């Protein structure tokens, strides 16, 4: 068994541990946040961590009641002076697998030295470089991925960001939805692995388009990155209707489209799916509909969550498992993609 496969299928076991850990830290996090006077929240990361930071920033803006931003750590490291206005009086939040990526470490140093900003680190490694810099460390080693490409780690960091946001905003409905997603996780995986494996191995697609909106923006972008890294096929993310504005010309019978259908609207999204099918794309919808009302090639049905961000937890599994089985079909080692390091040291 490849490490990637093991890590994908063990992610809900890890998610349960992460949920329990974060909730046990709730009082400590609340006390920490109460003692600092922050005017905004800024999430930073690299690669996968930056993608999920984008989703976290949107979720925080909706719930915390303060401005929230996501900045790529490498961008911040190189262009620090351009971001000083945004970073003044912010609460800095980093999500990382290793805690040793140079861009993140250097960015934290800059922010703390020049602006005396408070920092929370969420990391799947213990005693990392970031641990010595952050003011509050949240460490989840059970979610660490040994394979180069992140799967289990991504899902756990994404959820940990949501729990942190829920704690800061005292949003108990968020915790309820997350608990439901975890409780349904193993059954969900068992229900859809077979058909998603078939789509990966029997369909002739060789490029991928990921579509999602709102709080699922960043986790969908991470889904596109999973295809780049795990099965090494071209993949891009767009907002759902934005695919019409240029990218649609590249959609054809060799395109797999995965859509996180928004529960807020039906007709515009249904029309888009119809147009994608006219171009002979293979379309997978992920929605809260029990039936395939979208006329997609396949609909992955998930629970309806009042907090849309929680749908990102089951949604990312679709990209992870399809890209994994596509790699196997292509004879690509999903654990060790050539030219990619698990984390970057400059």
**Residue 342 pLDDT:** 58
Boundaries of domain holding 266 = 184-330
Total domains present in the chain = 2
- What pLDDT, on a 0 to 100 scale, did the predictor assign at position 297? 96
Same domain, 262 and 175: no
Q: Are residues 69 and 160 in the same domain?
A: yes
**Residue 127 backbone class (left: φ over 0; alpha: ψ -120 to 50; beta: rest):** left
Does 157 share its domain with 188? no
Residues 158 and 279 in one domain: no
Residues 211 and 293 in one domain: yes
Q: What is the pLDDT of residue 340?
A: 62
Task: Profile the chain (346 residues) by mean pLDDT over runs of 10 residues.
Answer: 96 98 98 96 96 98 96 97 94 94 93 94 94 95 95 98 98 98 98 97 95 98 97 97 97 98 96 97 97 96 97 98 97 81 57
Does residue 341 belong to any structural domain of this protein? no
**In this structure, are 56 and 116 located in the same domain?**
yes
If asked whether residues 194 and 307 sit together in one domain, one would say yes
User: Is residue 339 included in any domain, yes or no?
Assistant: no
Task: Look at residue 101 in the predicted model and tell me its pLDDT.
Answer: 87
pTM of the shown model = 0.96
> Are 188 and 314 found together in one domain?
yes
Residue 46 lies in a domain: yes
Same domain for 154 and 63? yes
Return the pLDDT at 346.
62
- Give the end of a domain, one of 124, 156, 180: 180
| pLDDT at residue 315, rounded to an integer | 98
Is 342 inside any structural domain?
Answer: no
Note whether residue 29 is domain-resident. yes
> Does residue 94 lie in a domain region?
yes
Same domain (yes/no): 158, 264: no
Residues 216 and 169 in one domain: no
Pairwise CA distance, residues 72 & 50, whole Å: 6
Q: Tell me what pLDDT residue 336 has.
A: 83
281 falls within a domain: yes
- Whichever domain contains 274, its CATH number is 3.40.50.10490
């Amino acid at each position: 068994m490849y490490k990637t496969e093991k890590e994908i299928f063990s992610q809900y076991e890890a998610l349960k541990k992460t949920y329990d850990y974060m909730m046990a830290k709730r009082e400590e996090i609340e006390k920490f946040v109460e003692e600092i006077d922050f005017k905004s929240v800024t999430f930073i990361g690299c690669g996968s961590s930056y993608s999920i930071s984008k989703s976290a920033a949107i979720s925080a803006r909706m719930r915390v009641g303060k401005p929230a931003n996501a900045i790529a750590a490498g961008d911040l490291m190189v262009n620090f002076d351009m971001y000083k206005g945004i970073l003044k009086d912010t609460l800095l939040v980093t999500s990382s697998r290793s805690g040793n990526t140079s861009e993140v470490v250097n960015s934290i140093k800059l922010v703390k030295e020049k602006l005396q900003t408070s920092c929370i680190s969420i990391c799947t490694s213990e005693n990392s470089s970031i641990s010595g810099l952050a003011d509050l460390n949240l460490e989840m080693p059970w979610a660490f991925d040994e394979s180069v490409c992140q799967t289990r780690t991504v899902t756990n960091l994404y959820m940990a960001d949501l729990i942190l946001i829920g704690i800061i905003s005292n949003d108990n409905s968020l915790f309820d939805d997350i608990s439901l997603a975890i409780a349904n996780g193993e059954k969900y995986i068992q229900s859809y692995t077979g058909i998603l494996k078939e789509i990966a191995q029997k369909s002739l697609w060789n490029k991928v388009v990921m579509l999602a909106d709102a709080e699922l923006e960043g986790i969908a972008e991470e889904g596109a990155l999973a295809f780049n890294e795990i099965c090494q096929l071209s993949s891009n993310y767009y907002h759902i209707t934005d695919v019409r504005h240029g990218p649609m010309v590249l959609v054809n019978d060799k395109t797999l489209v995965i859509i996180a259908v928004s529960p807020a609207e039906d007709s515009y999204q249904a029309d888009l799916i119809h147009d994608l099918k006219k171009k002979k794309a293979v379309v997978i919808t992920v929605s809260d509909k029990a039936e395939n009302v979208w006329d997609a090639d396949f609909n992955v049905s998930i629970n309806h969550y009042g907090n849309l961000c929680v749908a990102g937890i089951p949604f990312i599994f679709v990209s992870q498992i399809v890209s994994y089985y596509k790699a196997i079909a292509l004879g690509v080692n999903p654990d060790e993609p050539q030219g990619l390091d698990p984390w970057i040291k400059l």
